[in-house]
Chain A
C-alpha cells in the first residue's frame, strides 16, 4: 500500500513541479555578524561604549532622527550610559542634568501662556529634531527619518543590521540608476529591479536609502581618546541604540540566570519526590 501512495504523491509532485516561473527579485545582503559585548545570556554593555555611542547619536543622528521614548533620566538609570552608583535616583545625577540642560524643549509660560523654549530637565523626553512629520519630510527630500527609540528591535537582524547599514554604503554598481536624493546601500531592503539596466538575473543586492552616508572619520571627538573611525563610531552608536531599544535587557538576563538555577534545583527535587512516591507502583 505504501509504495503505491508514495509513488502517487511523487507523480503529483512531478506534475506540479513546473509551477514556476518565479520573478527574480533583488535581496538585501546579509548583515555582518558583529561580536557585541551584549550578546548571549551573559552579555553586558560596555559603559564607555554607551557613552561614546550617545555622543555619536547626539551629535550626528539626533539632527534628523527623533528618539521619542527616551528621557534624559534614562541615561542615568542602572545599566545606562551615565549611571553613577552614587546617584540611585538618576534625576539627581549631575551629569544627566547637565546633558539635559544642553537641550531646549518646547513649553508654555505659566504666567503668560506664551509658547516658550526652556532648557530640558532630566524628566523631559529627548526633544524631536522636527516639529512634525511634514517638517521632517520637507527637510529630508520627502523621506521620514524613523524614530530610533526601539530601532534595533524594529529591524530584522537587529544591531548587526544597523551597524552594517551604517558602514555598508558602496559605490552603486554600473548599470544602476540612482535618483537624486537617494543612496545605494547593499544592506537596505528594497527592490532595485526597476532601476537596473543590466542582466535581470544579476540585479545587485540591497536597495535605495534616502539617508546619505551619515558617518565620516573624525566626525566626533571622543573624551576617552578612542580614535573616531567610521567603524568605531558605527559600533558605538549601534551599541547605544541596542541599549536604548531595551534598557532593561541586562537586568532581564541576570534575573533569568537566577530563575534558571532555581528551576533546575526545583526540578531535581520534584523528580526525586516523583521517584519516591511512585517507587512501589509499577508503571
Chain B
C-alpha cells in the first residue's frame, strides 16, 4: 500500500544503518509518507486518540504500581496514600481511573465508526478481528484493574464476574477455584490480578502493532467506502493527518481533563471508597459504565449459563461480522435501510446500558396496577430482553438479509467526486435495478433512470 519508498539516506550513518536495519526508512514510509485518503472525517481520529490513551494508561499505571501494594490489608490504604501523600499522586491516579473511561469512550466510537462505514469488510477482516481481540483484552484489563483498589465494588464485582465461570457444567467450579487461587476471592486473587493488570496492557500494545500493520497493508477505509484509485485520492499522513488527529486529540484531552480535574469521581461508585468487606454485600452491585450493556445482556436471560454464553457471544459475534454482512457496499452512506438499523443499534446499545444500570425488577414505565394495587409495567429485565434480541438480530439476521434485499443509492466513482461536487440529493431506492454494487468497483448507478421513476 505504501508504495515505493521515497526515503533517501542523507548522511553516511543513515546509509550505513539503512543497509543493516532500515528502521528510519520504515518509520518514514509508515508514519510520515503513508498515503491516506484525503476525505477522512473526524470519526477517523479515534485511532490516534486510542493510541495516546494506551500510552497514558501504561505510563500512569507504571507510576501507580511504584506506590500501590497488592495485598488485601494494604491495597485500599495504599491507593489513598497515593491520593494524599505521593507528590501529584491524586493527578496520576485520577488520570488512570478516568483514563480507563475515556479509553472506552474512544474505543466505542471507533467501533461504531467501523460498523457504520463497513471497515470490517474485505480486505480488512483481519484488521477488524485484531481490533476485537484488543477490545476483549481491554475489557479484561479494565475489569481486573477495577478490582485493585479493593473497595466494596471491586471485591463484590470480582466475586460476581469470576463466579460467571462457575456456570459452565462440570469444569466451572474448577475454573473459578483456579482463577481465585483459593476457595474465595482473597489475597491470591488480588495478587494475580495485579500481575495480570501489569501484563495485559503490553499484550494490547503488541496487538496494536499488529492492528496498525494490518491497517497499512490494505490502507485506510474512508467515508465513501470506495477504494482509492491512486495518488490523486491521498495525502501523506504527515503533516495532513498528524495535524488533524492532533487537533482532535486536544479536543478529546479537554473532555478528559474536565473529568480528571473537576469531577474525577463522577463515573465511579461511592461504594468503592468503602474498604472491601466480604461479609457485607452492597445492595446493588453494578460494574463500571462501560460494561453496563454487557451486564444487561448477562442478566437478560433467566438461566445463568445462557446469560454467560449470551454475554460472551455478544463479543464473539463481532469476530464473524465480516462474513455475516452480505452487502457488498461498505459505507452505510449508500445503504438507505442499513443506516436506520445502525441508528437503532446505537440507541439500543444505550438502552442496554440503561438496563444494566437499573435493578432488573424496577419499572421503566408504569401502565397500571394489578389486582392487589401493585404497580405494573415494563421492567428493566424485559426491556433488556428486547434490546438483547435486537443486538443479536442486528448481526445475525438484519445485516445478512439487508445485503440481499437492500438497493444501495448511487455511489461516487471515486473519493474525489463527493469532495469536489456535493452529492445529489438522496432519493428513495427504486425497486428496479441491481441489488448491490461491488466493493471497490462502484458502478455509476442509473441516476437519470431513477429520477424518471
Contact = CB atoms under 8 A, between A and B. Distances in A.
Contact of A252 (B77, B90, B367, B372): B90
B183 interface: no
Nearest to A245: B273
Contacts, number: 134
Given A69-B77, A266-B250, A19 B382 contact: yes
B84 A255 contact: no
Interface size on B, as a range, is: 35 or more
Contacts of A20: 363, 370, 374-377, 379
A155 B270 contact: yes
A204 B291 CA distance: 34
A21 B376 contact: yes
Given A19-B378, A22-B363, A260 B240 contact: no
A256 interface: yes
A121 interface: no
Given A264-B254, A267-B247, A267-B254, A246 B83 contact: yes
Contacts of A13: 378, 386
A129 interface: no
A248 interface: yes
A20 B382 CA distance: 10
Q: Which of A22, A69, A264, A277 has the most CB of B within 10 A?
A: A22
A21 B377 CA distance: 8
Contact of A17 (B83, B258, B376): B376
Contacts of B247: 267, 270-271, 274
B386 A252 contact: no
Contact of B374 (A24, A149, A253, A259): A24
Contacts of B90: 246, 248, 251-252
Interface string A12-47: 110011111111100000000000000001000000
A61 B251 CA distance: 45
Contacts of B83: 246, 248
A147 B254 CA distance: 35
B361 A22 contact: yes
Contacts of B419: 282-283
B260 interface: yes
Interface string B258-269: 101110110000
B261 A253 contact: yes
Contacts of B38: 281-283
Interface string A241-281: 00001111001110111011001101100110110011001
Contacts of A255: 91, 261
B130 to A, nearest CB: 28
B378 A17 contact: yes
A189 B39 CA distance: 55
B283 interface: yes
A156 interface: yes
Contacts of B378: 13, 16-17, 19
7 contacts: A16-B382, A22-B361, A22-B362, A253-B262, A260-B257, A271-B247, A283-B38
Interface of B: 38-39, 77, 80-81, 83-84, 90-91, 94, 235, 239-240, 243-244, 246-247, 250-251, 253-254, 257-258, 260-262, 264-265, 270-271, 273-274, 283, 337, 340, 361-363, 367, 370, 372-379, 381-382, 385-386, 416, 419-420
CB-based closest 10 A-B pairs: A256-B261, A20-B376, A21-B374, A154-B273, A153-B273, A267-B250, A248-B90, A270-B247, A156-B270, A16-B382
